[in-house]
Amino acid sequence: MLILNSKIEKTPVMGLQTGSQLATIGAPIIDPANLQIIAYVLENNTYSNDQMLLRIAEIREFSRIGFIVDSGEDFILEDDVIKIKEILDLNFNILGMKVIDEKNNNLGKVADFTFSLVNFAVQQLVVKRPLLKSFNTSELMIHRNQIVAIDDEKITVKSETEAKPIKRVEETDNFVPNYVNPFRD
Q: What is the per-residue DSSP string for 88-125?
A: HHHT---TT-EEEETT--EEEEEEEEEEETTT-BEEEE
Q: Which bin fits 5, alpha (ψ -120 to 50), beta or left (φ > 0)? A: alpha
pLDDT, tens digit, for every residue of 50-105?
889 999 999 999 989 999 999 989 999 988 999 999 999 999 999 999 999 999 99
pLDDT at 17: 87
Residue 108, strand partner residues = 99
pLDDT value at residue 184: 57
For residue 165, the model assigns a pLDDT of 56
Is residue 181 pLDDT above 80, yes or no?
no
User: For residue 164, what pLDDT is reported?
Assistant: 53
C-alpha span between 174 and 170 (Å, rounded): 12
Residue-wise pLDDT for 130-180, tens only, equals 876 656 677 889 999 999 999 988 999 998 755 455 555 555 556 665 655
Return the number of other C-beta atoms located less than 10 Å from residue 132's C-beta.
8
pLDDT at 162: 54
- Which pLDDT belongs to residue 52? 93
Per-residue confidence (pLDDT) for residue 133, from 0 to 100: 61
How far is 39 from 96, CA to CA, in rounded Å?
Answer: 19
Mean pLDDT calculated for residue range 112-140: 85
pLDDT tens digits, one per residue of 31-45: 999 999 999 999 988
